[in-house]
Homo-oligomer: A and B are copies of this chain.
Amino acid sequence: MPRSAAGPEIERLIQLLAKLPGLGPRSARRAALHLVTRRERLMEPLSDALRVACERVTECPTCGNVDTQSPCAICRDPGRDGSVIVVVEHVSDLWALERSGATDARYHVLGGTLSALDGRGPEDLNIAGLIERAKAPEVREVILAVNATVEGQTTAHYVTDLLAGADVKVTRLAHGVPVGGELDYLDDGTLAAAIRSRTTF
């Protein structure tokens, strides 16, 4: 490790910041310096915000979303369409869908995908909870909004089989050309899917 002008406390801060996605050792050092040279404006507010988050943020027992209230704001929102459950792999997917405003349904976070390689089996995912929720009388549809990867699709098939018991329609996201996407840059699989699922103009 190179000689450093920073004390152990600052070094510790740098090491922790370096664990954030998007920050490497170098940028973490810059970020730490940015913080310690902006104490009132940034470091103290961030410290407070983190403490508050540590104290209040919990995982929603119903859907697996992270929020400061339990159940989470989405599960508590009476304006939400309780007849549809959107199943996602990670909380980040849930946030992405919320940002898009594509649905006002409720969600269910699996916490990942089945993966023989990584040794993740059904018991490692929150699948049991989904089956339970799907059995509720008001639930009519389960949208499998998992990634279009091998693991994602494998998981989708597995979940679909388990949902056969519940009286719900199981759907998945459409494949096709991304809005604004150029055909020239798309993979064959996507193009084939886009042709297959073509719609009348």
In the bound complex, how far is the Cα of B51 from the Cα of A36, in angstroms? Answer: 11
Number of copies: 2
Interface residues of A in 33-57 (CB under 8 A from B): 33-37, 39, 42-47, 49-54, 56-57
Does residue A158 face the partner (Cβ distance < 8 Å to B)? no
Q: Which of B30, B45, B94, B101 contacts A16 (CB 8 A)?
A: B45
- How many A residues, CB 8 Å from partner? 58
Is the Cβ of B54 less than 8 Å from the Cβ of A50?
no
Which residue of B is nearest A16, CB measured? Answer: B46
Is the Cβ of B23 less than 8 Å from the Cβ of A31?
yes
Is the Cβ of B95 less than 8 Å from the Cβ of A7?
no
Binds B, one of A67-75, A142-150, A181-189: A67-75
How far does the Cβ of A108 sit from chain B's closest Cβ, in whole Å? 13
Does residue A10 face the partner (Cβ distance < 8 Å to B)? yes
Cβ–Cβ < 8 Å partners of A54 in chain B = 39, 43-44, 47
Cβ–Cβ < 8 Å partners of A95 in chain B = 4-6, 29, 33
Chain A residues proximal to chain B, CB less than 8 Å = 2-10, 12-13, 16-17, 19-23, 27, 29-31, 33-37, 39, 42-47, 49-54, 56-57, 65-69, 72-74, 91-92, 94-95, 98-101
Instruction: Taking A3-B98, A30-B92 as given, write out 10 further A-B residue pairs in contact, using a Cβ cutoff of 8 Å, ordered by the A residue number.
Output: A2-B100, A7-B57, A9-B68, A20-B42, A22-B23, A33-B66, A39-B57, A46-B50, A47-B47, A50-B50
